[in-house]
């Protein structure tokens, strides 16, 4: 099965165009759009700790899953050199893949740090609650 045609929960892994020419967004695009939406929703808003707590839990879970994805992408790039006739107009494809793999490993370490920091931020507000003032 090709990664381009791989489907999980009704959505392709990558952006593709269907037979009718309609663009169907993949999971990575959905992730970026979700973060964009959260940025818009939280801009200039007070957000009580219980709501932030739930959000931090979801974000930490996502960040803690990124190292696995980065490792799988790195392995997939390496495998592509054997499975496909890969070319690179700028340099030897093995050099490009090796460089990308190094950056993916660094990204995995950063994501693990982000996940840990989000877990700690969530724990810091775990006991907070709030009441809505009568004038609201």
* Token duo for residue 65: 């899953």
pLDDT at 2 over 70: no
Q: Which two tokens stand for residue 98?
A: 């090796």
Under the banding of pLDDT at 50, 70 and 90, the label for residue 64 is very high
Domain residue limits, the chain: 1-45, 48-127
Q: What is the pLDDT of residue 28?
A: 84
89 exposure class (CB count in 10 Å sphere: 0-12, 13-18, 19+): exposed
The winner for highest mean pLDDT among 4-8, 25-29, 69-73 is: 69-73
Interval 106-117: pLDDT, tens: 999 999 999 999
Separation of alpha carbons 14 and 24, rounded Å: 9
Return the sign of the alpha-carbon dihedral for residues 111, 113, 116, 117.
Answer: negative
């Amino acid at each position: 099965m090709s990664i381009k045609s791989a489907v999980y929960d009704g959505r392709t892994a990558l952006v593709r165009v269907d037979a009718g020419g309609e663009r169907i967004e993949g999971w990575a695009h959905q992730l970026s759009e979700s973060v964009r939406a959260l940025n818009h929703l939280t801009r200039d808003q007070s957000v009580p700790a219980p709501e932030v707590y739930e959000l931090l839990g979801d974000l930490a879970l996502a960040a803690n899953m990124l190292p696995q994805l980065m490792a799988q992408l790195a392995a997939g790039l390496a495998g592509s050199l054997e499975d496909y006739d890969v070319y690179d107009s700028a340099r030897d494809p093995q050099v490009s893949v090796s460089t990308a793999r190094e950056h993916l490993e660094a990204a995995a370490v950063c994501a693990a740090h982000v996940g840990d920091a989000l877990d700690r931020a969530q724990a810091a507000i775990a006991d907070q609650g709030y009441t809505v003032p009568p004038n609201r």
